[in-house]
Structure 1
Amino acid sequence: MPRPLPSAAAPFVCRFAPSPNGRLHLGHAFSALVNEAAARRMGGTFLLRMEDIDATRCRPDHEAAILQDLAWLGIAPDAPPRRQSEHFADYAAALERLSAMGLIYAAFESRADIARAVIAREAATGRPALRDPDGAPLFPFARSAMSEAERDARRAEGAPFVLRLDMAAALAAAEALPGGPLGWTEAQGVPEGPRAPVPADPTRWGDVVLARKDVPTSYHLSVVVDDAAQGITHVIRGMDLFHATSVHVLLQRLLGLPTPLYHHHRLIHDDSGRKLSKSNAATSLAALRAAGVRPQDIRARLQPTPST
């Protein structure tokens, strides 16, 4: 299981980590408020991270807008933000370590290739393809289908690729390392609430992508590297990331990084019951502000409760 957890007297460090690819909405505000409130109750530290690895969508003006929204809500991080775009060397070092362990491989199949293979397998078996917790089909190709020499040659030729984690090999390597059964500790109710062990099942994600040719990291990889670099003791984030934690604790074990305590809070939904998201054009905090909504109105509406 994970490392021993901080006691009430130990450091309490949490973070809010938005992507500056659009405006914040009420779901973001809730997560930021839960983190800040926990840090203040525990006499701890509240940090901010800009998850800006996607250079095509993340922009400085979006980051400035996030800072403006947080200031309007009265949320004050205790240090300047860490920007992922300034730490690609850290992620490259983590990838190199995993590569030295033989745990990653270059994959050249496009999304169209994957979709065709999934359809063909479903037709051949008469059964739906296995899917990850987000609903995407698992990668349907075997690492053994191409030699490492051929993969190296295709990379040298400049072919597009992603770097995938060989899940079976990664689990075998993790089992050989100290730490016992793979899992994490989940705080119940509130971030400092009662704790319960949760077994990890990263196999549900298949051979996950850890980097791409044009983006030298991924969410899974960068989040564990960043949490360790920032000394995060409590990861407080939405329930939509609960299952991803299985991948994160696996990477932490493989990279020799500490496993924080986790608390996955409830999500904020719109009137139709959908989770608020940028892709669904959720009403932004800026739009609410322009409509005359006050910061205290937002705080009253989203006030974290013991069922957070």
Structure 2
Amino acid sequence: MTVITRFAPSPNGLLHLGHAYSALFSQDWAKRHGGRFLLRIEDIDFTRTREEYVQAIFDDLSWLGLEWEEPVRRQSRHMDEYHRRLEELKKRGLVYPCFCSRKAIAEHIRRHPDWPRTPEGAPLYPGTCRQLSPEERQERLARGERPAWRLDMKKALASLGARAKTLSWQEEGSGPHGERGRIPADPARFGDVILGRRDIGISYHLAVVHDDALQGITHVTRGQDLFHATGLHRLLQELFALPAPVYVHHPLITDEGGRKLSKRFRDRALSFLRKEGVSPQSIKRLLGF
């Protein structure tokens, strides 16, 4: 098996040291295993994507000395593929339309201070629209209401039968608490997640699972902030009968206060450091490469 890794940034801001670490980590993993390194631009969120950030990604990574295969896959040019995946789940009755506004959901959560949350800290969806009758759903759709499309988690897990109990992934990096080896997947912790967003049509979770399989990614290298989401991704892979890659989660680069770096702070951007005269060799030494 040829090892294939990928670095998949979103062009909604400038790359920072955390992105540099992740890109270098992914390329280094591929090189050490005699494999291939791909770059993917995850630009499905047209409300935040800017073309100047796409070019900045290419410039920053080239400056760091990274090389990748062409052509670079841009998700925005393949929306029809993701919509076909969503339609497949609709036909199988595994997703349902959700007409709830964020305000309505927040109000429900506010009345229940101890409401359960996902591993990432977001409140679980209360399932309001899961209870709607088929007639009411059709009536609201016919009126032109634009829904989000949520995965019916219970139905999705039930559709796997006995496989749902053995759902897991191979971890060759480590989780936030040192988890390694065969990791049990627990997608139910995310509840009825959105797979079809109301604003842009498709969610990150659906698109990334599709693309990793399409591009033959054997090792998904990414930050530990996405460790728990792997359980959800494994569920989607099983639902679509896609191969399961090995996952390699790496530690996050944080600021002096221990917080994950953010694109909001431009003074930490690679382009800013480059203009200040910092060399790519210095960046690599700083990050341990």
TM over 0.5: yes
Is residue 2:53 matched to residue 1:67? no
Counterpart Cα distance in 1 of 2:164 and 2:116: 29
> Which residue of structure 1 aligns with residue 5 of structure 2?
14
Q: Secondary structure at the match of 1:121?
A: coil
Q: Any runs of at least 4 consecutive aligned residues in structure 1 with deviations exceeding 3 A, and if so which?
A: 279-282
Is residue 2:74 matched to residue 1:79? no
Q: Aligned ranges for residues 1-308 of structure 1 at < 5 Å?
A: 10-122=1-113, 128-175=114-161, 181-188=166-173, 196-279=181-264, 283-304=268-289
Q: Secondary structure at the match of 1:76?
A: coil
Task: Classify 1:164/1:282 alpha carbon distance in 2 versus 1 (closer, same or farther; 3 Å).
Answer: farther
Task: Classify 1:56/1:188 alpha carbon distance in 2 versus 1 (closer, same or farther; 3 Å).
Answer: closer
Q: Deviations over 1:217-243 (max 9, x none)?
A: 101100000101111000000000000
Contact 1:91/1:216 (<8 A) preserved: no
**Offset at residue 149 of structure 1 (A):** 2.4
Counterpart Cα distance in 2 of 1:35 and 1:67: 16
Q: How many percent identity over aligned positions?
A: 51
CA root-mean-square deviation: 1.7
**Offset at residue 281 of structure 1 (A):** 5.1
**Offset at residue 282 of structure 1 (A):** 6.3
Further displaced range: 203-212 or 145-154: 145-154
Q: Deviations over 1:178-212 (max 9, x none)?
A: 687111000046xxxxx710000011111000012
**Offset at residue 121 of structure 1 (A):** 2.9
Q: Deviations over 1:23-76 (max 9, x none)?
A: 100000000000001111111110011110111211211100000000000001
Contact 2:158/2:164 (<8 A) preserved: no
List gaps (5 residues or longer) in structure 2. 175-179
**Offset at residue 280 of structure 1 (A):** 5.3
**Offset at residue 175 of structure 1 (A):** 2.5
Counterpart Cα distance in 2 of 1:287 and 1:148: 54
Q: Secondary structure at the match of 2:106?
A: helix
Aligned residue identity for 1:139: Y
Number of positions where the alignment pairs a residue of Structure 1 with one of Structure 2: 285
Counterpart Cα distance in 2 of 1:113 and 1:216: 20
Contact 1:46/1:77 (<8 A) preserved: yes
Counterpart Cα distance in 1 of 2:191 and 2:35: 36
Aligned residue identity for 1:146: L
Counterpart Cα distance in 2 of 1:141 and 1:107: 9
List gaps (5 residues or longer) in structure 1. 1-9, 123-127, 190-194
Q: Secondary structure at the match of 1:173?
A: helix
Aligned residue identity for 2:55: A
Contact 2:100/2:129 (<8 A) preserved: no
Q: Secondary structure at the match of 1:87?
A: helix
Counterpart Cα distance in 1 of 2:112 and 2:173: 40
Aligned residue identity for 1:149: E
In proportion to residue count, which structure has more helix?
A: 2
Aligned residue identity for 1:33: L
Q: Deviations over 1:82-127 (max 9, x none)?
A: 11101111111111111121100000111110011112233xxxxx
